[in-house]
Amino acid sequence: MPKIKKGLILIAVVIVATAFVYYGYFVKVIQNWRDGDDDDDRSFATTTAPESFVEVRKVSAEVTYMATEDKQDTLRFVVSLDENNVITHLTTLDAKTGEVPEKKKNFTEKASAMIVGKKLSELSGIDNVAKSSYTTNAFNSAIDRLKAQL
Amino acid sequence: MEEFSFDGLGTKWFVRIDGASVTEEVKQNIFHFTQHFEKRFSRFLRESEVNAFRTSHRGLYPISSDFFSLLHQADILRTVTRGRYNPVVASFLEEIGYGNTKNLPHFNRVREDIPQWALKNQMLFIDGPIAFDFGGIGKGYCIDKIADILKRAGYEYFLVDGGGDMFATTKASGDPFRVAIEYPGKPNMAVGTITLSHQGLAMSDGFRRHFGKWNHLIDMESHQSVETIIGCAGLAKTAFMADSMTSGIFFAPEENYTLLEEQLNAFYLAIKADHTISMSDQWPGEIF
């Protein structure tokens, strides 16, 4: 199964959410136009909602990705929208349990810090690459014996 | 810029010298030092210092200054990580079958009986048979020692790379060395770049040394591999501290990261399993 980059997943979620924002705004503009409201100063974007109505609905999307080389995870991204269809909250849930996975508890706060990476071949002026050591001979020789134990 | 390479500590090494030619004598000194270091601290070798206490009784024993330095650093990490990093992981690695240890004296302890150790007055206290593994800090220590050899030989501008961890001065021009940081598990990708100027940089991930259900990062409290973080880079004044930082970040609870930064005077960049990052507020590199 081809790997799905999480960066792309996040971008997709943002695009979907943005589409909702524009869709909601468009519907309201149409309604406003049909109502023939003469009050030209009325603006949805600046309407202040009561606090209890700040979060009015949620949309979600489920995605499957390769968390590690041999482990697949399925997540549900839940986007909360306020009355103006502005994103107020983003939550990541385990699609099976519906709970926030332990290792993803900080995802909401750090969604903007998700890395995408860049191809080494696209970088210029690089003197060296910091990387984890290659598998040693000792590990290689142990693999068959390990497989027999597992 | 002149470069020479060699094998040591189970990985590839290279030394890059700027503004001068490296002599054959210095090359040999570095090569022999690395070989000697491996003999002293490889857990795969019977005569190494880390295997000197495999059949010992409870007691207080004298150890070399290098052994003490490594254990002292391991003790700091053991404390900050609440016991999850512990160099006695050697016995566990043997038990799960990592490495050829057929020629070593039998280690007569069960998994649940975690060997206890402490440092006292430059000596090592043990509660019985014990073996150590300095994976995660030893290579950085060795890199700094090689840098010392170069400095003593009069070289001012160089980079020492041990399997992807390194120490670099500046270039002869005064410019820093610019280094890409590999994306964990994606050897043709970078997560960012950083410049080095008389600093050490280390990188570790859970992919390169992965076997069966384990990687080489074993939590000694749970006896499970660490999987919440898939890669970590450390930056410090020395490669030893940078290497130690990566080990600390893998094993420490997140609330202790600041404590690690203070203890090791180092910065970190951690890539989590969900591919988000956690990093020092003052991390000086560029992130992609």
* pLDDT at position A128 over 70: yes
Residue type, position B114, single letter: I
Amino acid at A83: E
Model pLDDT for residues B18-58, shown as the tens digit of each residue = 999 999 999 999 999 999 999 999 988 889 999 999 999 99
The answer to whether residue B71 scores a pLDDT higher than 80 is yes
Q: What was the pLDDT predicted at A69?
A: 52
Q: Which chain B residue shows the shortest CA-CA distance from A74?
A: B274
**Which residue of chain A has the CA closest to B243?**
A132
**Angle in degrees, 0-180, between the axes of helices B65-80 and B257-264, rounded to the nearest 10:** 160
Task: List A93's β-bridge partners, or say none.
Answer: A76
- List Cα–Cα distances, A33 to A20, A22, A26, A37, B39, in angstroms: 20, 16, 11, 7, 83
Cross-chain Cβ contact B211/A143 below 8 Å: yes
- CA triplet B95, B96, B99: central angle to 5 degrees? 85
pLDDT at position A15: 66
**Cross-chain Cβ contact A131/B161 below 8 Å:** no
Q: Averaged over A129-142, what is the pLDDT? A: 56
Higher pLDDT, B8 or A115: B8
Identify the residue among A4, A121, A126, A131 best suited for mutation to test binding to B, counting B beta carbons within 10 A and taking the highest: A131
pLDDT score at B262: 95
Position A99 scores a pLDDT of 72
Q: What is the maximal distance between C-alpha atoms in chain A?
A: 81
Cα A69 from Cα B142, distance rounded (Å):
31
d(CA B259, CA B83): 15
Q: Lowest mean pLDDT: which of A85-99, B129-143, B149-163, B272-286?
A: A85-99
Residue of B nearest to A112 (CA): B276
Using H for helix, E for strand and C for coil, what is the string for B248-259? Answer: HHHHCCHHHHHH
pLDDT confidence of residue B113:
81
**Coil, helix or strand for B113?**
coil
| B218 touching chain A per CB within 8 A | no
Find chain B residues with C-beta within 8 A of A7's C-beta: 275
Distance from CA of B120 to the nearest CA of A (A): 33
Q: Are B80 and B259 in contact (CB under 8 A)?
A: yes
Least confident range from A67-71, B120-124, B218-222, B232-236: namely A67-71
More confident position, B128 or A64: B128
Higher pLDDT, A136 or B71: B71
Which has more pLDDT, B285 or A82? Answer: B285
CB contact under 8 A, A133 and B230: no
pLDDT-above-70 percentage for chain B: 90
Distances (CA, A) of B78 to A92, A95, B21, B98, B287: 32, 36, 42, 22, 30
Q: What is the pLDDT of residue A14?
A: 62
Distance in Å, alpha carbon of A50 to nearest chain B alpha carbon: 34
pLDDT digits (tens, 9 = 90+) for B98-115: 665 667 777 777 777 889
Cα dihedral value B12, B18, B24, B25, nearest 10: -100
| Selected residues 86-145 of chain B with any CB under 8 Å from a CB in chain A | 96-100, 139
Asked if B188 has any chain A CB less than 8 Å from its own CB, the reply is yes
Report the C-alpha gap between A61 and A64 in whole angstroms: 10
H or E stretch including A130?
strand A128-130
Contact by Cβ (8 Å): B245, B266: yes
Residues of A in contact with B139 (CB under 8 A): 133
The arithmetic mean of pLDDT across residues B193-197, rounded, is 97
pLDDT band at residue A79, thresholds of 50, 70 and 90? low
The average pLDDT across B256-265 equals 95
Is the predicted pLDDT of residue A149 greater than 90, yes or no?
A: no
Distances (CA, A) of A44 to A49, B37, B259: 10, 71, 48
Q: Is 0.90 topped by the overall pTM? A: no
Per-residue model confidence as pLDDT tens digits over A8-19: 666 666 666 656
**Between A and B, how many residue pairs show a Cβ–Cβ distance under 8 A?**
178
Query: Average pLDDT for residues A45-67, to the nearest whole number?
Result: 51
Higher pLDDT, B236 or A75: B236
Chain A residues in contact with B161 (beta carbon < 8 A): 128
According to the model, what pLDDT value does residue A59 have?
Answer: 67
Q: Return the amino acid letter for B75.
A: D
For residue B133, pLDDT over 60 is answered with yes
B163 vs A8, higher pLDDT: B163
Cα gap B130→B22, rounded to integer Å:
41
Cα separation of A32 and A29, whole Å? Answer: 5
Distance CA B156, CA B170 (A): 8
Q: How far apart are CA A108 and CA A149, in angstroms?
A: 40
Per CB-CB distance under 8 Å, the chain B contacts of A144 are none
B63/A contact by beta carbon, under 8 A: no
Are B193 and A123 in contact (CB < 8 Å)? yes
